Amino acid sequence: MEKILDGIYRPQDLKRLTMHELEQLALEIRQLIIDTVSKTGGHLASNLGTIELTIALHYCLNMPDDIILWDVGHQAYTHKILTERKNDFPTLRQPGGLSGFPDINESPVYDYFTVGHSSTSISWALGLACSRDLLKKAVKSKIAAVIGDASLANGMAFEALNHTGHLNKNLIVILNDNELSISPSIGALSNYLNRIATSPVYNRIRYDVEKLLKRVPWFGFRTLRAAKRLERALKNLLVPGMLFEELGFRYFGPISGQNIPAMVSTFQRVAELDEPVLVHVLTKKGKGYEHAENFPSKYHSAGKFEVCSGTMDCATGQTFTEVFGDKLLELAQKNDKIVAVTAAMPGGTGLEEFGEKFPERFFDTGIAEEHAVGFAAGLARGGFKPFVAIYSTFLQRGFDQIIHDVCLQKLPVVFALDRAGVVPDDGPTHNGVFDIAYLRLIPNIVIMAPSDKEEFERMLTLAASLKPPCAIRYPKACVPEFPHEKSDAFIPLGKSRLLRRGKDVAVFALGSMVATALQAAELLMRNDIYAEVIDARFVKPLDIEMIQEKAAVFKAIVTIEDGVISGGFGSAVCEYLQNNVKNPPPVRILGLPDEFLKHGKRDGILDSCGLSAVKIAGSIKLFLEAVS
């Protein structure tokens, strides 16, 4: 039997379908997403919840003339399927395949922005609306921003809402509410009110009455104000959208995000309004797949899984995230001043058990990284020791707060930067490759990176005792195992450690690159090149004694890091040598290039950037030949 999806390639193809066919299409897309993500991994629960919403939006709007912006973008799989990428969908998140997020390079016609961070969509939508109006085109494109309830809590979203209401621009915000039960008014009364409020007749009469009253001297404006106050009072009693109304939006909802006819009816009428509109849609994460419905957090960013049982592939070996969670719990049991802060990622950062054991000392700020950092500063000033666990790429959003609220005040906040370096599968918006560079320039902060489990645990112990702010960066990966002598129980601040003796070149490796550097040294030895390998441990403060010692002995120095070369660890070593050592040896910096890296497997991306053991060995060999 031929599927409806077989004949759908672009949004215009939806226009010929009946409501019943659209509902059948949703079932077919749901199965395609489940089957694909079970093989590739990806964001499952959020995408299953927005299938009907996406179909209804594309049915009512006219892309690419109209514009749909997806906040965060981890719910845009259906959008990709409906916008000429259906046949490529099996390549989702695979090297060279479709990105798991909207990507302007992948589809400049349908993906207006590359997006993977939250709370950006309304700002973008308002900018596009102002650009549209300045161009004064005869036909105005419709612009819709789809934002989740969690993303709406971020300050940037509220700033954009406030500005949009102030400018009174014609755009549509779709609030995709998949967790909060804001109001019990969903049902017959709410549907009735929405039908009235979106009716063209109602809005034409409303506009005509306003226009007429404004013509009446003195009493007309007073009557109009009284009428609007009455309307607001009634809405406050009957619908939950007064906050948005006060910000200058017309509010409609809530409506079911799985009810295509209801959404189509609302979107079609809303599209005729010439003002800021917010439509509140209630969706269910994981809709249509029992395992994802029951465990939406587990299937938010899912690995490969078996469809029938829901059994998910698990990584072998302990991850850095697990080591962090276990060690922080141990430290907190001994020190009641330790508190944990995260920004909507308790599971992803390994803090779930901490929250269960110490609920009064665990704080989840939601998607509000700026607030999380400022909040941690307040906790520290109040006498506590906050460990702030945020993905490296998301901590960028709190950059000013790190400088002003924490480091300027010299407060003992610990930043645990999970997903530092190359992050598998998620691409440029999620790679944590800038943290060394953007933290190194800030005074008063300590920056370190562990190479293995024991080092990580010792660094966390050190961090718990430090008075200045500090950051510990670590990758989304299993903890490596490599032979070396055990270190002392405590790590001296700013001290590296020698792991392997050599005579031809000194290699300073940082964090996750240490194990790879040792592998490269083994390969070099086959060519009678003997590399001395140092685990740098610290980016700031540098171990200047070790650097001076090796600069005096070796004819060449190599640094290796899984961060951008510009402003990174290698740059710090070069700056020190050039400014403090007479006739320093030449230095080769191995790191990530000055570009946004595409999605792929971590090992594959590192290899393409010259950071596999084989590529590092080859680079060192050529470097030594050039300087000899």
E strands in 524-570? 531-535, 538-540, 557-564
Q: What is the average per-residue pLDDT within 454-470?
A: 96
Residue 182 has pLDDT above 50, yes or no: no
Q: Which residue do the tokens 């060999």 mark? A: 621
User: What is the C-alpha separation between 482 and 305, in angstroms, rounded?
Assistant: 30
What local confidence, expressed as pLDDT, does residue 277 receive? 96
What local confidence, expressed as pLDDT, does residue 152 receive? 87
Evaluate the CA torsion angle 429, 431, 433, 438 in order and state its sign: positive
For residues 341 and 375, the answer to whether their CB atoms sit within 8 Å is yes
Q: What is the average per-residue pLDDT within 601-620?
A: 96
Q: Give me the count of residues in the chain.
A: 628
User: What is the C-alpha separation between 372 and 344, in angstroms, rounded?
Assistant: 10
Q: What is the average per-residue pLDDT within 504-512?
A: 97
Give the per-residue SS3 of 484-541: CCCCCCCCCCCCCEEEECCCCEEEEECCCHHHHHHHHHHHHHCCCCCEEEEECCEEEC
Catalytic annotation present for 588: no
What local confidence, expressed as pLDDT, does residue 46 receive? 93
pLDDT, tens only, 355-371: 999 999 999 999 999 99
What local confidence, expressed as pLDDT, does residue 189 receive? 38
What local confidence, expressed as pLDDT, does residue 544 receive? 97
Q: What is the average per-residue pLDDT within 92-118?
A: 95
Name the residue among 188, 434, 179, 189 with its Cα closest to residue 285: 179
**Percent of the chain having pLDDT more than 90?**
79
The long-range contacts involving 381-385, CB below 8 angstroms and separated by at least 24 positions, are 381/409, 381/411, 383/337, 384/337, 384/338, 384/339, 385/335, 385/337, 385/338, 385/339, 385/412, 385/414, 385/464
What local confidence, expressed as pLDDT, does residue 171 receive? 95
Catalytic annotation present for 39: no
Name the residue among 422, 399, 499, 403 with its Cα closest to residue 455: 499
Mean pLDDT in the chain? 90
Catalytic annotation present for 369: yes
Residue 476 has pLDDT above 60, yes or no: yes
Residue type, 337: K
What local confidence, expressed as pLDDT, does residue 130 receive? 95
Q: What is the average per-residue pLDDT within 221-229?
A: 62
What local confidence, expressed as pLDDT, does residue 109 receive? 94
What local confidence, expressed as pLDDT, does residue 179 receive? 65
Catalytic annotation, pick one of 284, 285, 327, 602: 285
Q: What is the average per-residue pLDDT within 42-69?
A: 95
Specify the range with the lowest mean pLDDT, choosing from 118-122, 191-195, 332-336: 191-195
Q: What is the average per-residue pLDDT within 18-27?
A: 96
What local confidence, expressed as pLDDT, does residue 487 receive? 63
Residue 188 has pLDDT above 60, yes or no: no
Residue 351 has pLDDT above 70, yes or no: yes
What local confidence, expressed as pLDDT, does residue 298 receive? 85
Specify the range with the lowest mean pLDDT, choosing from 397-406, 410-419, 481-490: 481-490
pLDDT band at 482 (very low <50, low <70, confident <90, very high): confident
* Phi, psi dihedrals of residue 208, rounded to the nearest 5°: -65, -40
Name the residue among 305, 313, 303, 388 with its Cα closest to residue 343: 388
For residues 102 and 76, the answer to whether their CB atoms sit within 8 Å is yes
Residue 605 has pLDDT above 60, yes or no: yes
Residue 349 has pLDDT above 80, yes or no: yes
For residues 538 and 589, the answer to whether their CB atoms sit within 8 Å is no
What local confidence, expressed as pLDDT, does residue 2 receive? 84
Q: Could you please report the per-residue DSSP string of 474-487?
A: --SSBPP----PPP
Catalytic annotation, pick one of 397, 453, 473, 476: 397
What local confidence, expressed as pLDDT, does residue 209 receive? 56
Catalytic annotation, pick one of 369, 370, 455, 561: 369
Report in angstroms the alpha-carbon separations of 139 from 58, 172, 196.
18, 16, 26
pLDDT, tens only, 150-168: 888 888 999 999 999 999 9
What the block records as the tokens of 624 is: 């030594």
Specify the range with the lowest mean pLDDT, choosing from 51-65, 90-104, 106-120, 213-227: 213-227
pLDDT, tens only, 553-575: 999 999 999 999 999 999 999 99
* Phi, psi dihedrals of residue 451, rounded to the nearest 5°: -100, -20
Q: What is the average per-residue pLDDT within 404-419?
A: 97
For residues 534 and 510, the answer to whether their CB atoms sit within 8 Å is no
What the block records as the tokens of 14 is: 């939806």
Residue 196 has pLDDT above 50, yes or no: no
For residues 326 and 375, the answer to whether their CB atoms sit within 8 Å is no
Residue 190 has pLDDT above 60, yes or no: no
pLDDT, tens only, 370-394: 999 999 999 999 999 999 999 999 9
